[in-house]
Structure formats: structure tokens, C-alpha cells
Structure 1
Amino acid sequence: MKKYVIYLLILILGIVAGGYFFSNSKENTSAHPPINASINQEMWTCSMHPQIMQPEPGDCPICGMELIPAETGQDGLAAGQFTMTANALALANVQTMVIGATSTNVSGTINLSGNIAVNEEAIAVQASYFDGRIEKLHVNYEGQDMGKGELLASIYAPELVAAQQELLTAASLKGSQPQLYQAVRNKLKLWKLTEKQIDGIESSGKVTESFPVYATVSGTVSEVMSAEGDYVKKGQPIVKLSDLSTVWAEFDAYESQLSVFKKGQNIRITTNAYPNKSFDGKIAFIDPILDNATRTVTVRATLKNEEDIFKPGMFVSGAIEGIHGGESETELLVPTSAIMWTGERSLVYVKVKKDEPVFEMREVMLGTRIGEQIQVTSGLEAGEEIVTNGTFTVDAAAQLQGKRSMMNKLGGKSMTGHEGHAGMQQNMVLNNHNAMMPMKFSESFEKNFKEVLPIYFRLKDALVAGNTERSSLEAKAMKDALQNIDNSELGNMEKDRFGKITEMIKAITVNQDIENQRSHFVILNENMVAIASSFNSFEKTLYIQQCPMANSNRGAVWLSMDKDIKNPYFGDAMLTCGAVIDSLK
């Protein structure tokens, strides 16, 4: 029995010891996770600044917001990140560069786009000085030149008829009642009658029923404000005259450029009408109010126009030279081609992995634009790699994958259904047309088609100006020129492209609605760009430009001889919306 008790005690002791060691092993296991667990460690990011990635929770170092868990997809990418295939990158000619801080002085030229406007300080309104009915209006149309003292209108005024009768009566009593006589004459002077006119009434002894009104200043008629037969009140305007001996050159300057402008600064001005001449001016006014819609400020120069060179509405370009950026070790400069503007936000695409085509959109704050570079004050850091060419194609890829993009601030499916997908595919096709759809044309066709381009550019300028009548006229001229091109030897695809151009031109010719004309211009340009891109070379470089907001936010392209953006789809509403996406040498 004693032996069995010893065996039982040993068994109980073993069970207790085993339980102790087993428990300790479990604690060690939980304290030291396997290697795989550390690999899958959760990352934390900021909802407003997704570039922030930290291994533990806390606050965003940029805005101070509380970090949230970063979502990762099946591909291991963070939310907002996406990939592109090597083939897509090659087709779109996507180029990137690593940005770095600079402490050198940057000097260059700031280029501005604008137009000629009437000098509002030289506007005079010619009004009626008495109640009456316009019997005859001698101003026939806007743009008519009027000289000081020239007859504007003849007005029947019952009050003036009565006053003339008083004058004739007082004239017969001027010997006995000189004060009454002088009071009547002064009354007529209040109606802007001259001494000569009053003397004429007195000497003739007759009342003039239809009284002439003369221009008190010289100028060009900018608005006819009354018509024959109208009853006008005292002070009611008849015509507006503008003195065009001086005009304003008004330019749109971005918010980020304001620090470099000051009154009295020299500005060199050029126009399309006189390409070989430049005109010197000085900044006379900087608008103190920012336009919230375009985020621009009007910068104005006053120009002498004694030779009638400048016409109100004419497009002009301004160049301010010798602009210097400040010295700062943290200053970042990026090419303007890398920036996409939405009107409210400035965006770039960052390549987040050095050896892999992984991208994400980044919102940035901009500083001064100097030449073809622009300062980035926040949103990027030195050493990061950004997209500098093909940005709109990268943006299209982001939209197709439901990521944050130019038109989709929060991410997710920005376009649904066949229409949205087709729209984004269209953007990518427009960027890659030459590689995806090669076409062949004979030398004679290419030569004849190039001769149509000057008319096309005039049509584009008319749409930029929003001039429907001029657009129709230029479209008719282009239609006539296209009809003289032999397309009988073209292939099916080439003939279809050419046919679409002819069809759209005809539609623009007969339409008098600017928005309708612009919608046909979208389809015309898809085919113009495709054909022009198939040609070998041009006498001068042409630029393929794109506005991502045109065509119901699906984007649209056009051809230009100038790098500067002048948007034919929105005109003054968003004149500089877009970017150069390719060039034809």
C-alpha cells in the first residue's frame, strides 16, 4: 500500500507540473507572435491626407485629424492606390520625375492670357435732357463713329415747345422786363440749348416742334439704348459712346501668382492679329476681389490705341519678364504639365513604388508660377516621384478602377453603366489614338488636308470667342474646302473619319446655338486629331490639347498652334481649363 501511495503522489505532482508548464507556454506564445503576424501589421492613415501611413494609431502630422485604419485590397495596395500595365504606360507615353528641393533663385517669364476691353473710364452716355418722343434717331448701328456736336436724334418735347413760346413772348417784353427775359433764356439753357440755338429761335420768331439733340463727346457707339418712336424721360439714355483712343488689356492671373504682380510693372503684349509686333504697357490695376469660380484675379494695363489697332474682344497674350522666386531650402518646383486644376483643387499623381507602376492622386497647394514651372507649398515632399506627362490618362485609369481622381474626390465608382465606362475609355483612346488606330493617307490627301487647317484654327478661335455667326461662316468655308479633297482612295476607317468631319462641319454651319456648335466640335476634333496624328510632319508644331471637363466631364481634345490653352468648349467661362497632352512636330 505504501508503494501505491508513492506512485499516486508522483502522478499528482506530474499533473500539476505539466499544467504549470503548459500554461506558461501559452503565455509566451501570445506575447511573441509568429513572424507572419508582424508582416500583416495594420497600418493607419489620414482620411484627408492618404499619403500618411503609420504603423500605429495617432494624429495626422499635417492636419491633426485622428488616423483611421488603412484599407488594403486583395492586391495589397492601400485605398486610393492603383496600378497600370506597362503597355498602357507606353501607349500613353507616361513620364515621371523625382522632385527635389532647391535653394537657388529662379527667374523667368510669367505668361498671361487675356483680351482687349473698352476703357470704362472713357465711356459717355448721351441722355435726353427733356421728356419727349424720338422722332428721328440718327444713330443706326453699334460701332458707328460719332463726333462731338454731331446730330444724334430729333425729339418732340411738349415742355420745350411751351418754353420756346415763353421765350418769344418774353423777347417782346425784354425792354420792360429784362429779368423775366433772362430767366426764360436760362430755363432753356438747363435743357442744354446753346446760346446760338436760343438766338435762332428768337430771331426766327417760330417754335421748333422737333428739337435736335447733339453729341457732347466724340466716340464709337457701343450700345444703342433707344429707338425711333420711343417716349423718353428726362435723363433717359439714348446711346452709349466709347472713346477707343485708349483701351484696357485685361488678363486673368491665378491666385498663386499674385505675389509677383505690382502696379507699374512692365508687361509685353502680343496679339494674333499682329503676330510680328509687340506692344509695351504697364500694369495699372490689380483687382482686389478674387473670382471664386475661376480662382483668378484681373490684372489690367491701359494701352494707347490712336491707330485703332486694338479691337475690344480681341485675344491678347501678356509676358512679364524677370520674375524671381525666393530662396528657400524647402522650395519645390514641378513642371506645370504635372498639375491638374479642377477650379477648386490642384492635383498631381505620385508614383508610390519605385520599381512598380503604382500611383495615387495627391492634392497640393501651389505657390508662384514661373515660366513652365510652379512652386508646390504643400502636399509633396522632396524625393517623391510624380507624373509629368500623360497625367490625364493616369487619371482616366484611376476613374476606371473606382479610385480617387480629378472628377471623383472621394473615390468609388464615379461613372456607372455603359455610358460612364465608354466615356472613360474614350479619354484613353483620345490620348493613345496614334498607337491604337494607325491610318494611311496618300501624299496628295495629306497636302490638301493640311491646307484646310488654317480655316479650322479660325473656327476654333470663333468658338473660343463664343461667336456663333463667325463660327458658322468659318465652318462653311471649311466645308467648301473639304469638298475639294478627293477621298475616293481612302480605306474604310480613313473614309469614316473623314466623313465624320464633313458631317460635323455641316451641322456647325447651319446651327446658331453656341452650345450645339461646341458639342459637334467635340466629335469633329476626335477625327481631326486622329487624322492629323497619322501625318508624317508639319511646317510648324501643332499641339493636341484636352479639357477633362468638356463633353459632360468625359473630356474632349482639339488642335492648337499655340501652347497656351484657350478652351473652345467653354470660352470665357473656363478659358484656360485644359492641358497639352501631345504635340505633332
Structure 2
Amino acid sequence: MKRNIIYIVIAAIVGLGVGYFLFGESNTETMEMTEHNHSPENGQMWTCSMHPQIMQPEAGDCPICGMDLIPADAGADGLSPEQFKMTANAMALANIRTTVVGDTEGDNDNTISLSGKIAVNEEAMAVQASYFDGRIERLNVNYEGQAIRKGQLLATIYSPELVAAQQELLTAASLRESQPQLYSAVRNKLKLWKLSDNQINSIESSSKVKENFPVYATVSGTVSEVMSSEGDYLKKGQPIVKVSNLNTVWAEFDVYESQLSQFKKGQKISIAANAYPNKTFDGEVTFIDPVLDNTTRTVTIRATLSNQKDMFKPGMFVSGKIESGLVTPQASLLVPSSAIMWTGERSLVYVKANGDEPIFEMREVMLGARSGDQIEVANGLDYGEEIVTNGTFTVDAAAQLQGKKSMMNKTGGKTMTGHEGHMGMLENNSSSDISGEMMKIKFSDGFQKDFEAALPAYLKLKDALVSGDAPKTSMDAIATLEILKKLDLSDTGAMEKAHVNKSIEMLEAIAKKEDLENQRIHFVILNENIVAIASNLDSLDNTLYVQKCPMANNNRGAVWLSTENEIRNPYFGDAMLTCGSVVKILK
């Protein structure tokens, strides 16, 4: 019995030894690998390319946007301190496009594109006035847009002065043989009051004085303004209606100060109207405004168009193409204007550093003259380099997220991330200046008052986007734009001007495109500037709520202003009407 027990114990010990030899080392390695894979102590963390604040110890999806996480150090391998990398997915979502820099011959068609409106030809405008004192008994022209012709009855006027003049005529007519000079003087007096020979002869032949005298149109055209009403007592020379002859109209365009050298009177211009997409109309520059608009830094140029068929309506949007008068050196580099980012003091582009990978770096450039949609780069770029021409602001946002040099951060360094940083600036009533330091924006009292006058129009624009009404959005953008263009920026700094000018640029884009998705894309950038200004006003007549939707702007988040605490999302409308929250209250 004892011998059997000893054999069993020996067999068990041998079995344990063989088992450890076969499996123990493998299990130890597995445990070590498990610890290696799951322990963050080895430094291998996973992050999101669009939300670098996300850090997880293992691969997976971003809890914010759902994108695949990447190794936290994967974007830094082999990159210089100024470079950063974007994922292919992020590039596709933001619709980022690049262009290889070419020369003048390859990239420029030497034409300038302009935007403008049809206006009334003021040279063909006439005012129909009363030539004698009297009361309007009947007004036959009583609404704007009414067509009238020369000789048409405009109004019937009772005039005691004219009654007396008619009595003088009848008396002078009876003395015509003995006092012809008196008779002639009385007739001339009535002619000066715009009575025709037929009217004067009619009074003589009837020998009756007319109490209510008719007034006839002296020109043909369209009524642009009714300036009197029935029952009004008119003084001599007081206007009754304003008449515009629309057989010719003006096409007026605004050109930037930097483009002035490229225009002169007599230049041919090709004009297109949204109402007639398949037609172009030829004209020539007939007038260049000698006074520069200090607010918009633009000058108005004008072309006169024939309008015999009433195709052009005053207020209609038109576009023009004109051959540039600029002669550029053959070696100059021209890039699309969409590639340039202006800070007020610097001009920037994003260069694709590696043609095979989405690696970018910011580059400061010196600009020359503008020719159409192209801008000359005098220094900072070389022929053959690849630059971002669409989605530039998205690339700039990625640079900010990764702590690289960017439009608002000249020196680089990660201080805040994404919209958290932006909203942090708003909540502290501050903004970043061109050098990346934090500073308080200061506005003059006149600027604050004028800017606040633009807020009701902006709020209507926001409500139109909530309703998903693209045409009304365009009209409200125009109304807001007209107010912002009148702001006095003479006492404001470069950062403040940059906010206003970028807002004007976005409103112009919203007004031109009646495409709801496109309008909402530009509304994102508009709000980044409008909210920054509103957050720095010293006082407001009404409380404003800064609201934010984390799902807007391709899940990067976007803000807007509202007078109500309740969320009404302008970026998604009915699809996600209540998505968002209040992040700041401006009282």
C-alpha cells in the first residue's frame, strides 16, 4: 500500500513538471502580451484625428464622431514641427481639394469676374410736377410700376390761380384786335404753365372757365414713385410722380481697391443674368465712380444696357466678365483666390508637403495684383508646389487642433482644442489676435450701436435656415449684408476688421447661392465671426443666447445666436430641430 502511494505521488510530480515545461512559458508570454496590449503604461494610446482630446488605450471608434481611432503618435512620424497629417476620411468629409501651382499662361484666362445689380438709369428719370398751385381732385396714376405714355392724363387739379388766368384769357381775347400784345402775353403765361395750344384754344372757343384742370404726362416711362395723393394741396413745382424710362438701364458692379488699375472707360464687358442663364449681353464701362467707399473699400463701375424688350428689372442680380488690363510678368505665379487666407496683416496658404500623403504645412506668402479669380503670389511659393484650394478653413482648423501654426496661432502650440477653445474664448469675452495671444476686442460706441442694428436681420436669416427656406435665406442675407457694409471700421483693429470682412464675405456667398446646404456651410463660418463680435459688445438691448450643435459642421460643432433659450437648429431644421444646447448667455 505504501509503495503504491509513493508511485502515485511520483507520477503526479512528474506530470506537473511536464505540464509546466509544455505550457507554462507560453502562458507567461500570453500574460505578458495581454498586459502589454492593455496597459497604457507602454505609451501606446489611440486618438481621433478630428477630436484629439479623445485618448483611449485600445483601438475602436471615436465616441464623438464615430471615426476610426488612430495611434496617437502615428501622425508625427517623420514630420517636421510645422507639418501635420489628416486622414483620408477627414479629407473626403471636408471635400478638401488641392491644385498644383502653375504659371500665368497655364492658370489665367485674363478675365475678371464681377457681381452686381441692375439699377434705374437716372439720366432717363423725370419728375412730373405741378406748374401751378392747386388741390388734386383726382389722381389717375396711383401705384409704382404703372406704365404711362406721353400725353396721358395724370391728375385733375382745382386751381384758383388757373381760374383767374382763364378769365384773363377770355377778357384779352375780346380785346385781341385793340390790344394784341396783352392777348399774346396772357397766352404765353398759360403756355409757361404747360397748357398746350389746343387747351388754350378750347378755352377761348367755349368761352367757359374750367374749374378742374387736367394735367398730362410730358414723358413716357414707368412710375417709380408716387409722390402725392388725392386731396393734397400742391405748391407750384411740387412733384406728383417720378417716372423712369426703362428703355435703358445701368448694370452696376463693385470692384475692389486693389483692382482699380485694371479698369478704364470703354472696356468691353460681358454680362449675364440669373433670369436668363443661357444668354449673355454685351456692354462697355461708361462710368467709374471717382469716390471710394470707405466701408467696403470698393468703387462702383457702370455699364449702360439697352432694355427695349424689358428683359432687365431694377434690382436684378447680374454677373460680369471683363478682360483684365493687367500685364503680369511671365514668371509670376497665380493661384485661385479661394486658396488665400487673410488675417489682416498676413496672407497664408496651406501647402501639401508630400504628394502621396495628406501632410500639410502653413506657408506665409506675399501677394501681388489680382486678376479675375486669380491672385499673383510674389513670394512664398514655387512653381509645381501643391496647395489647398477648397476646404482651406477646415485644414486650418485641423492645424489648430493639432497645435500647429495656423491662421489664428502664428507660433503654434496646443492651448485649446477645436471648438472647446473657440467657445472658451467666447465665454471669457476675448478673442485671439494675429499672434495667437489672448486679448479683449474693443469696439467704439458707434460701431456697437450700428452692429446691434444688424442683429434683427441676422436673426431673420437664422430663422429662414431653421425653416429650410433657401430663397428667403438669400433675401435676409442681403438685408444683413447691407447693414454690415455701412459699419464704420475706421477706429477698429485688424482682428475686428477681419471678423467683419469675413462676415460680409460669407453673407455674399449665402445671398448668391439659393442652395440650402451651401448656405448652411457658409453660415458656420459666418457665426464664428458674428458670435465673436457679439460676445465682446459692452451692452445689449436684448439678451442673446449662444447655442451650439455638436453634430453640425461634419460633427465638429457649430454655434449661432438666438433671442430664445429654446433650441431651434438652423443647421438641420426639421431633421434635428432641437439638437444643441445653450453654451453662453449674453445679457
Q: Which residue of 2 aligns with 1:232?
A: 234
Q: Does structure 1 conserve the Cα–Cα contact (< 8 Å) formed by 2:324 and 2:371?
A: no
Q: Is residue 2:348 matched to residue 1:348?
A: yes
TM-score (norm 1): 0.54
CA distance in 1, matches of 2:185, 2:113: 62
Deviation string for 1:238-271 (max 9, x for gaps)?
1111111111122222333333333222222222
Aligned residues between the structures: 378
- 1:207 aligned to which of 182, 195, 209: 209
Matches within 5 A, 1:98-247: 99=101, 106-247=108-249
- 1:298 aligned to which of 297, 300, 308: 300
C-alpha displacement of 1:183: 1.7
Q: Does structure 2 conserve the Cα–Cα contact (< 8 Å) formed by 1:253 and 1:297?
A: yes
CA distance in 2, matches of 1:250, 1:262: 14
Q: Is residue 2:517 matched to residue 1:549?
A: no
Q: Is residue 2:366 matched to residue 1:389?
A: no
Structure 1 pair 203/402, CA: closer, same or farther in 2 (3 Å)? farther
Structure 1 pair 231/131, CA: closer, same or farther in 2 (3 Å)? same
Q: Does structure 1 conserve the Cα–Cα contact (< 8 Å) formed by 2:168 and 2:186?
A: yes
CA distance in 2, matches of 1:216, 1:306: 20
User: RMSD over aligned Cα, in angstroms?
Assistant: 4.6
Q: Which amino acid aligns with 1:207?
A: V
C-alpha displacement of 1:360: 5.0
Q: Which residue of 2 aligns with 1:332?
A: 333
Q: Does structure 2 conserve the Cα–Cα contact (< 8 Å) formed by 1:107 and 1:325?
A: no
1:275 aligned counterpart, secondary structure: strand
CA distance in 2, matches of 1:326, 1:369: 9
Q: Does structure 2 conserve the Cα–Cα contact (< 8 Å) formed by 1:218 and 1:243?
A: yes
CA distance in 2, matches of 1:145, 1:242: 10
Q: Is residue 2:369 matched to residue 1:374?
A: no
Q: Does structure 2 conserve the Cα–Cα contact (< 8 Å) formed by 1:92 and 1:390?
A: yes
Structure 1 pair 138/552, CA: closer, same or farther in 2 (3 Å)? farther
1:309 aligned counterpart, secondary structure: coil
C-alpha displacement of 1:142: 0.8
C-alpha displacement of 1:286: 2.2
Q: Does structure 1 conserve the Cα–Cα contact (< 8 Å) formed by 2:118 and 2:252?
A: yes
Structure 1 pair 121/166, CA: closer, same or farther in 2 (3 Å)? same
C-alpha displacement of 1:367: 0.9
C-alpha displacement of 1:147: 0.3
CA distance in 2, matches of 1:407, 1:202: 84
CA distance in 2, matches of 1:230, 1:83: 75
Structure 1 pair 407/235, CA: closer, same or farther in 2 (3 Å)? farther
TM-score (norm 2): 0.54
CA distance in 1, matches of 2:233, 2:409: 56
C-alpha displacement of 1:373: 2.2
Structure 1 pair 120/363, CA: closer, same or farther in 2 (3 Å)? farther
CA distance in 2, matches of 1:399, 1:230: 66
Structure 1 pair 345/231, CA: closer, same or farther in 2 (3 Å)? farther
Q: Which amino acid aligns with 1:299?
A: I
C-alpha displacement of 1:377: 4.5
Q: Is residue 2:317 matched to residue 1:310?
A: no
| Worse-matched range after superposition: 353-362 or 333-342 | 353-362
Percent identity reads 58
Deviation string for 1:330-369 (max 9, x for gaps)?
x231122212468x67742345988996755847544122
1:180 aligned counterpart, secondary structure: helix
Q: Does structure 2 conserve the Cα–Cα contact (< 8 Å) formed by 1:128 and 1:235?
A: yes
Q: Which residue of 2 aligns with 1:263?
A: 265
Q: Does structure 1 conserve the Cα–Cα contact (< 8 Å) formed by 2:144 and 2:224?
A: yes
Q: Which amino acid aligns with 1:86?
A: M
C-alpha displacement of 1:136: 1.1
Q: Does structure 2 conserve the Cα–Cα contact (< 8 Å) formed by 1:82 and 1:401?
A: no
Q: Which amino acid aligns with 2:336?
A: P
Deviation string for 1:3-62 (max 9, x for gaps)?
xxxxxxxxxxxxxxxxxxxxxxxxxxxxxxxxxxxxxxxxxxxxxxxxxxxxxxxxxxxx
Structure 1 pair 410/317, CA: closer, same or farther in 2 (3 Å)? farther
Deviation string for 1:454-501 (max 9, x for gaps)?
x9665555446659xxxxxxxxxxxxxxxxxxxxxxxxxxxxxxxxxx
Q: Does structure 2 conserve the Cα–Cα contact (< 8 Å) formed by 1:126 and 1:216?
A: yes
Deviation string for 1:129-177 (max 9, x for gaps)?
1122211111121111100011111122222122222222222222332
Q: Which amino acid aligns with 1:392?
A: F
Q: Which residue of 1 aligns with 2:555?
A: none
1:160 aligned counterpart, secondary structure: helix
2:276 aligned counterpart, secondary structure: coil
2:223 aligned counterpart, secondary structure: strand
Structure 1 pair 158/408, CA: closer, same or farther in 2 (3 Å)? farther
Deviation string for 1:201-244 (max 9, x for gaps)?
22222222222111111001111111111222211111111111
2:187 aligned counterpart, secondary structure: helix
CA distance in 1, matches of 2:216, 2:151: 5
CA distance in 1, matches of 2:252, 2:116: 5
Matches within 5 A, 1:363-512: 364-370=366-372, 372-377=373-378, 380-382=380-382, 386-396=387-397, 415-417=422-424, 458-459=471-472, 462-463=475-476
CA distance in 2, matches of 1:215, 1:256: 46
**Where do 5+ consecutive residues of structure 2 fail to align?**
1-80, 432-467, 481-505, 533-547, 549-587
